[in-house]
Chains A and B, each alone.
Chain A
Amino acid sequence: MNKSLALEKIRAFSPQIDKVGVEERVARFQTRSIKNESKMQGLKLALSMIDLTTLEGKDTPGKVKQMCYKAAHLHDAYPDLPTVAAVCVYPSMVRIAAQALKETQIQIASVSTAFPSGQAPLDVKIRDTEFAVAEGATEIDMVISRGKFLSGEYSYVFDEIAKIKECCGKARLKVILETGELATLDNVRKASDIAIYAGADFIKTSTGKIQPAATMQVTYVMLQAIKDYFDSTGKMIGMKPAGGISTAKLALHNLVMVNEILGPTWLTNEWFRFGASSLANDVLMQIGKSQTGIYQSADYFTID
Chain B
Amino acid sequence: MSRLEILKTYKIYIGGQFPRTESGRYYVVNDQQDQPLANVCLSSRKDVRNAVVAARKAFGSWSEKTAFNRSQVLYRIAEMLEGRRDQFIQELTKQGSSPSTAIQEIDLAIDRIVYYAGWCDKYQQIGSSVNPVASSHFNFSVLEPMGVVGIIAPQNSSLIGLVSLLMPVLAGGNTAVILASENLPLCAITFAEVLHSSDVPGGVVNVLTGKTTEMDTTLAAHMDVNALVGEQQSLGCVQVESVENLKRLFSFDADWMNSNAQGLHFITDIQEVKTTWHPIENIGGASSSY
- Please give the residue numbers on chain A whose beta carbons come within 8 Å of chain B beta carbons, in ascending order: 293-300
- In the bound complex, do residue A294 and residue B244 qualify as a contact, i.e. CB atoms below 8 Å apart? yes
Instruction: Let me know if B218 is at the binding interface, CB within 8 A.
Output: yes
Instruction: Let me know if B222 is at the binding interface, CB within 8 A.
Output: yes
Chain B, range 177-224, C-beta contacts under 8 Å to A: 218, 221-224
**Distance A296 CA – B56 CA, assembled complex (angstroms):** 12
- In the bound complex, do residue B244 and residue A298 qualify as a contact, i.e. CB atoms below 8 Å apart? no
The residue on A at minimum CB distance from B218 is: A295
- In the bound complex, do residue B245 and residue A297 qualify as a contact, i.e. CB atoms below 8 Å apart? yes
Chain B, range 13-55, C-beta contacts under 8 Å to A: 48-49, 52
- In the bound complex, do residue A295 and residue B245 qualify as a contact, i.e. CB atoms below 8 Å apart? no
- In the bound complex, do residue A294 and residue B222 qualify as a contact, i.e. CB atoms below 8 Å apart? yes
Q: Is the interface of A mostly helix, strand, loop or mixed?
A: loop
- In the bound complex, do residue A297 and residue B224 qualify as a contact, i.e. CB atoms below 8 Å apart? yes
- In the bound complex, do residue B224 and residue A298 qualify as a contact, i.e. CB atoms below 8 Å apart? yes
**A-B CB proximity, top 9 nearest:** A297-B224, A297-B223, A295-B222, A294-B221, A296-B223, A295-B49, A294-B223, A295-B223, A294-B244
Q: Determine how close the nearest CB of chain A comes to the CB of B179; give it in whole angstroms.
A: 15
Chain B residues whose C-beta falls within 8 Å of the C-beta of A300 in the assembled complex = 223
**Distance A211 CA – B29 CA, assembled complex (angstroms):** 45
Q: Chain B interface residue count: which class? A: 10 to 19
The residue on A at minimum CB distance from B148 is: A297
The residue on A at minimum CB distance from B45 is: A295
Q: Is the interface of B mostly helix, strand, loop or mixed?
A: helix
Chain B residues whose C-beta falls within 8 Å of the C-beta of A293 in the assembled complex = 221
A294, A295, A296, A297: residue with the most chain B Cβ atoms closer than 10 Å: A295
In the assembled complex, 20 residue pairs joining A and B whose CB atoms fall closer than 8 Å, in A order, are A293-B221, A294-B222, A294-B223, A294-B244, A295-B49, A295-B52, A295-B221, A295-B222, A295-B223, A295-B224, A296-B223, A296-B224, A297-B222, A297-B223, A297-B224, A297-B245, A298-B56, A298-B224, A299-B224, A300-B223
7 other contacts beyond A295-B218, A298-B56, with CB at 8 A cut-off?
Answer: A294-B222, A295-B48, A295-B222, A295-B223, A295-B224, A297-B223, A300-B223
Q: Determine how close the nearest CB of chain B comes to the CB of A264; give it in whole angstroms.
A: 29
**Distance A296 CA – B245 CA, assembled complex (angstroms):** 10
Chain B residues whose C-beta falls within 8 Å of the C-beta of A299 in the assembled complex = 223-224
Chain B residues whose C-beta falls within 8 Å of the C-beta of A295 in the assembled complex = 48-49, 52, 218, 221-224
B48, B49, B56, B224: residue with the most chain A Cβ atoms closer than 10 Å: B224
The residue on B at minimum CB distance from A300 is: B223
Chain A residues whose C-beta falls within 8 Å of the C-beta of B48 in the assembled complex = 295
The residue on B at minimum CB distance from A295 is: B222
Chain A residues whose C-beta falls within 8 Å of the C-beta of B224 in the assembled complex = 295-299
Chain A residues whose C-beta falls within 8 Å of the C-beta of B218 in the assembled complex = 295
Q: Determine how close the nearest CB of chain B comes to the CB of A35; give it in whole angstroms.
A: 16
The residue on A at minimum CB distance from B224 is: A297
Chain B residues whose C-beta falls within 8 Å of the C-beta of A297 in the assembled complex = 222-224, 245
Chain A residues whose C-beta falls within 8 Å of the C-beta of B221 in the assembled complex = 293-295
Q: Determine how close the nearest CB of chain A comes to the CB of B240; give it in whole angstroms.
A: 12
**Distance A293 CA – B245 CA, assembled complex (angstroms):** 14
**Distance A294 CA – B48 CA, assembled complex (angstroms):** 12
Q: Determine how close the nearest CB of chain B comes to the CB of A289; give it in whole angstroms.
A: 9
**Distance A299 CA – B223 CA, assembled complex (angstroms):** 9
Q: Determine how close the nearest CB of chain A comes to the CB of B246; give it in whole angstroms.
A: 12
**Distance A298 CA – B245 CA, assembled complex (angstroms):** 12
Chain A residues whose C-beta falls within 8 Å of the C-beta of B244 in the assembled complex = 294
Chain B residues whose C-beta falls within 8 Å of the C-beta of A298 in the assembled complex = 56, 224
B48, B221, B223, B244: residue with the most chain A Cβ atoms closer than 10 Å: B223
Q: Determine how close the nearest CB of chain B comes to the CB of A36; give it in whole angstroms.
A: 15
A297, A298, A299: residue with the most chain B Cβ atoms closer than 10 Å: A297
Chain A residues whose C-beta falls within 8 Å of the C-beta of B56 in the assembled complex = 298
Contact mask for chain B residues 239-270; partner A; CB cutoff 8 A; 1 contact, 0 none: 00000110000000000000000000000000
The residue on A at minimum CB distance from B220 is: A294
Chain B residues whose C-beta falls within 8 Å of the C-beta of A294 in the assembled complex = 221-223, 244
Q: Determine how close the nearest CB of chain B comes to the CB of A104; give it in whole angstroms.
A: 30
